[in-house]
Amino acid sequence: MAVTVADLLKLPSLRNAKVVAGKGGLQKIVSSISVLESVDPEALNDKLFHNDEFNGSEIVITSFINIKDDVKLQCRNIQRLAEGGEVGLILYYVGLFMKDVDPQLVALADSLDFTLICMPKNRIDLRYSEVICEVVEAIYKDQASGVSMVVELLERVSRLPQHQRTVDTVLKMLSDRIRATVILTDAKGNVLNEAAWPRALSGLHVYLKELPSPQVPGKPEAFPYLPGGLFYKAQINSESGQGMELFIIREDKSLLGAMFQQAVESVQLAVSLWSQQHDRIVISELVKAIMKDEPMKMRRLADLFQIDVASIHAMWIVTPDTENQGFFYEAAETVRQLVKQYCKTSFADVYEDCLVIFMDGPRFLRDAEVLGETLLAQLPGSNTLAMFRNLKDTTAVREAYLSNRDCADDIKRIFPGRNRFSGAEIFFAKDCRKRIAEGEAAVAEVLSQLSLLKGEREAEELKRTLAVYLLDTGCGLAETAKRLYLHKNTIKYRLRCMSDCFGYRVGTMPSSMGLYEAMAIERILGSGKRKKKSEG
**Side-chain half-sphere exposure of 95, counting CA atoms within 13 A:** 8
The reply to whether 37 falls in a domain is: yes
For residues 195 and 249, membership in a common domain is answered with: yes
- Ramachandran assignment for 461, one of left (phi > 0), alpha (psi -120 to 50 degrees), beta (any other): alpha
Residue 118's closest CA among 139, 99, 101, 142?
101
CATH of the domain at 445: 1.10.10.2840
Q: Are 230 and 223 in contact (CB under 8 A)?
A: yes
Q: Are 483 and 473 in contact (CB under 8 A)?
A: yes
The reply to whether 425 falls in a domain is: no
Helix (H) or strand (E) holding 378: helix 365-378
At 387, the amino acid letter reads M
Average pLDDT, 10 consecutive residues per value, the chain (536 residues): 86 94 90 74 46 66 90 88 87 93 94 94 93 91 70 74 77 89 86 86 86 84 91 82 84 82 87 63 74 71 70 91 68 86 88 89 91 91 92 87 92 93 96 94 92 79 93 94 94 93 92 94 74 46
For residues 157 and 271, membership in a common domain is answered with: yes
CATH of the domain at 237: 3.30.450.40
Q: Please report the pLDDT score of residue 40 as a whole number.
A: 53
Helix (H, G, I), strand (E, B) or coil at 451: helix
Domain of residue 198 covers 149-276
Q: How far is CA 142 from CA 24, 150, 151, 177, 338, in A?
A: 23, 14, 13, 11, 52
State how far the Cα of 78 lies from the Cα of 41, in Å rounded to an integer. 11
Q: Count of CB atoms within 10 A of residue 523's CB?
A: 19
Helix (H, G, I), strand (E, B) or coil at 67: helix
For residues 255 and 206, membership in a common domain is answered with: yes
The reply to whether 413 falls in a domain is: no
The reply to whether 84 falls in a domain is: yes
Q: Please report the pLDDT score of residue 134 as a whole number.
A: 94
Q: Please report the pLDDT score of residue 430 as a whole number.
A: 95
Q: Which residues are 320's β-sheet partners? A: 383
State how far the Cα of 482 lies from the Cα of 488, in Å rounded to an integer. 8
Q: Of the residues 243, 276, 309, which one is the last residue of a structural domain? A: 276
Helix (H, G, I), strand (E, B) or coil at 362: coil
Domain count, the chain: 4
Residue 78 C-alpha from the chain's centroid: 20
- 285-300 burial string, b = 16+ CB within 10 Å, else e? bbbbbbbbbbeebbeb
The reply to whether 16 falls in a domain is: yes
Q: Please report the pLDDT score of residue 54 as a whole number.
A: 55
For residues 115 and 158, membership in a common domain is answered with: no
CATH of the domain at 336: 3.30.70.260
For residues 155 and 134, membership in a common domain is answered with: no
The reply to whether 10 falls in a domain is: yes
Q: Of the residues 391, 406, 421, which one is the last residue of a structural domain? A: 406
Q: Are 329 and 280 in contact (CB under 8 A)?
A: yes
For residues 125 and 16, membership in a common domain is answered with: yes
State how far the Cα of 53 lies from the Cα of 105, in Å rounded to an integer. 23
For residues 92 and 201, membership in a common domain is answered with: no
For residues 229 and 307, membership in a common domain is answered with: no
Q: Where are the alpha helices (DSSP H) in 39-184?
A: 41-48, 71-83, 103-112, 128-143, 149-158, 167-178
Q: Is the peptide bond before 12 cis (omega within 30 degrees of 0)?
A: no
Q: Of the residues 109, 143, 177, which one is the last residue of a structural domain? A: 143
The reply to whether 411 falls in a domain is: no
Q: At what angle do helices 440-447 and 423-437 cross, to 10 degrees?
A: 120
pTM of the model: 0.53
For residues 484 and 455, membership in a common domain is answered with: yes
